[in-house]
Amino acid sequence: MAYPEIDFLYLSEPDMIKAGVTDVVACTETMEEVVKLLDEGDYRMGGKNGNSHGCMIQFPENPEFPGMPKDGPDRRFMCMPAYLGGSFQMAGVKWYGSNVDNRELGLPRSILMITLNDKDTGAPIAYLSGNLVSAYRTAGIPGVGVKHLAREDATQLGVVGPGFINRIGAECYCKLRPSIETIKIKGRSQRGIDAFIDYAKEHCPNVKNYIVCDTVNECVEGSDIMAFGTSTPTGGQENFPYFDPDVVKPGALITGVGAMNTAKELIQDPDTKLVVDNMKLYDSWAEEYPYPTFDTWFLMGSKWTDMIHDGELTRDRIENIGAIVSGKAPGRKSDDQIILYSIGGMPVEDVAWGKTCYEKAVEMGIGTKLNLWQEPYLY
């Protein structure tokens, strides 16, 4: 930039698509670099501990002021700041509002925007449509797990929660494991199941069979890769999708970007491998949502921090996916090893994939240049 003048690039959703935001394999490769930096510690997020998921505005069940929104499923605003080092050297923030009722207006549940900022001056570099950045990076992180931890000969994928994230995820997993021929689906609505199958038929040409399941256990049974991606349940862990350990196929990789639950016996089994995207994130949630965290925060990794609190699990059982990717920790030890992989999602991922797409947009001459000022009125 030629300071003090500041220009930045605005990228709409169509611009982002042209810049490659929907390339799920390229996104997964970017996420591989991200998880290594997370494991090394070359990043910062919000809060004094540098690991906060973000700052969230939640609303009361019965507002006392006219016009204040009322609490409901996924009814919130959230700001998620981050800095990521390595080859990215970028700061940024994802901001979004979320409301399930948006669908009645023809809108997605969450509407997201991402700002990329110069790490030294704080000047805006780009303002990006964020829905696809967030969705594809959310699928890319479990994609890293599939790439490094799933059996090479996986033939069956199970999906609990056939929403957009698991649609993209299925595309990713089928490209990483082209041996997948069958997808089992557990959903809450026929419309969602049908939309998933339509998407998979277009993007997963190797799949020959689709099986709709009535129960979570039925979906888990026989699956080599499991993907849990349900919307946030309310009412505590009793309402989280639950699977019995005895239905898990030997060698299965079970991933969760959404709520999932199972018996402690499977978690405590020394042969079960426990993996997270970034253990420090779960420590931060344990501070923010005091024990029992899992009742409030639905990710499997929070069940593990609760078990550590209760002396039912030792911390050294849990490994960062970044340590596995970089070779500092072992991957799968046998074809029969069951692996549980908890994914929390972090704004560093949005910054990384957003910057990657921004650079491609600049290269392609995509986007609208906006001027902040020729020179600042105050400085």
Q: What is the mean pLDDT of residues 269-276?
A: 98
Q: Where are the domains of the chain?
A: 6-134+348-373, 140-346
Q: How far is CA 26 from CA 140, 180, 281, in A?
A: 9, 20, 25
> Do 299 and 269 touch, CB atoms closer than 8 A?
no
Predicted pLDDT of residue 235: 75
Question: Rounded mean pLDDT of 158-170?
Answer: 96
Give the per-residue pLDDT at 152: 97
d(CA 218, CA 211): 10
Burial of 288 per CB tally in 10 Å (0-12, 13-18, 19+): middle
* From 51-60, 193-202, 214-223, the region with the lowest mean pLDDT: 51-60
Q: How confident is the model at residue 217 (pLDDT cuts 50, 70, 90)?
A: very high
Digit-coded pLDDT (tens) for 353-366: 999 999 999 999 99
Nearest 10 degrees: CA dihedral of 244, 248, 252, 254? -20
Q: What is the pLDDT of residue 85?
A: 98
- pLDDT score recorded for residue 116: 98
Two tokens at 363?
């290269």
pLDDT > 80? residue 103: yes
**What is the topology classification, in CATH, of domain 6-134+348-373?**
ornithine cyclodeaminase, domain 1 (3.30.1780)
- When pLDDT is averaged across residues 78-100 and rounded to a whole number, the result is 97
Q: What is the pLDDT of residues 124-133, one digit of tens each?
A: 999 999 999 9
Burial of residue 58 (number of CB atoms within 10 Å: 0-12, 13-18, 19+): exposed
Q: What is the mean pLDDT of residues 42-56?
A: 94
pTM of the model: 0.95
Which CATH superfamily groups domain 140-346? NAD(P)-binding Rossmann-like Domain (3.40.50.720)
What does the pLDDT look like over 5-14, one tens digit per residue?
999 999 999 9
The pLDDT-based confidence of 97 (bands split at 50, 70, 90) is very high
Can you give the pLDDT at residue 72?
86
What mean pLDDT, rounded, does the chain reach? Answer: 96
